[in-house]
Amino acid sequence: MAHNNPEQDLNSTGPMDVTRLAPPAGSCIAVLGGCGGIGMALVAACLENGLEVAVMDLPQSLAERSFPDGVRQIPLDARNADQVEAAYRQLAQAWPHLDGLVNLAGYTGEFLPMDELPLEDIDDVWSGNLRATAMSCRCALPLLRAAPRGGAIVNTSSGLARAARPGYGPYSAAKAGIEALTRTLANENGPAVRVNAVSPGGIDTAFMRGGFGRGGREEGPPLRLKLDQYIPLVPLGRVGVPEDVAGPILFLLSDAARYISGAVLEITGGA
């Protein structure tokens, strides 16, 4: 059911500032999983545009990253419902509303066929990707509905949601679920809240080396992706970098994307 608020200027058809493809300065943006490579690039881009930012991530990840003064840091394990709910209660005490939410949390597991994976490993990947995203959206929606100009969510899918590869069964299924969740939330919460997703291909971050929260770092050869085989398949001729994803996320959060909801934007260099 759509949530309407007559006091909000939602889906305005008035003049658009096409010189600004980011939310207005002062907008409040929460980033779940902000310590990863894409998250750090997004936080930097938000600050450059004068946005207020809150980063929610694992305590050990927050301890290993350095953020400028003014960036709110909220430790949590996104698989834990109580911790997610507590994080949003803390956020609500600081901000009266939320203009944007970006869900970047996620990881994959052992590189094994589905029938060789322990069930607890499958459940863990589903919990850390699909369930974490769903819980984050669920807790954020009241704050997003209160945004004067309407709120926006950007979830994170993957090219593996559609082009499945051996060894990525739980991860691919979770990301496909996030795309379905995105479309459902877009239908349930418009016009007060727009909900979209980005679907990156190969992006050179710690994710390629196990994930930042699991000890992976930005340097070194990828654990699974063979760049000499992958890059020739990319029409734009290179592997992606975090800024290639941060820009489209900012756009989807902005008024320039005011008539986009329920969409999944592929960021693959044409692959």
Q: Which of 139, 25, 9, 20 is nearest to 84 (CA)?
A: 139
Check if 171 is active-site: yes
Half-sphere exposure of 235 (CA within 13 A, CB side): 5
CA distances in angstroms from 113 to 109, 165, 166, 245, listed in the order given: 11, 10, 6, 29
Return the HEC string of the chain: CCECCCCCCCCCCCCCCCCCCCCCCCCEEEEECCCCHHHHHHHHHHHHCCCEEEEEECHHHHHHCCCCCCCEEEECCCCCHHHHHHHHHHHHHHCCCCCEEEECCCCCCCCCCHHHCCHHHHHHHHHHHHHHHHHHHHHHHHHHHCCCCCEEEEEECCHHHCCCCCCCHHHHHHHHHHHHHHHHHHHHHCECEEEEEEEECCECCHHHHCCHHHCCCCCCCCCCCCHHHHHHHCCCCCCECHHHHHHHHHHHHCHHHCCCCCCEEEECCCC
Write down the catalytic residue from 88, 107, 168, 171. 171
Active site residues: 171
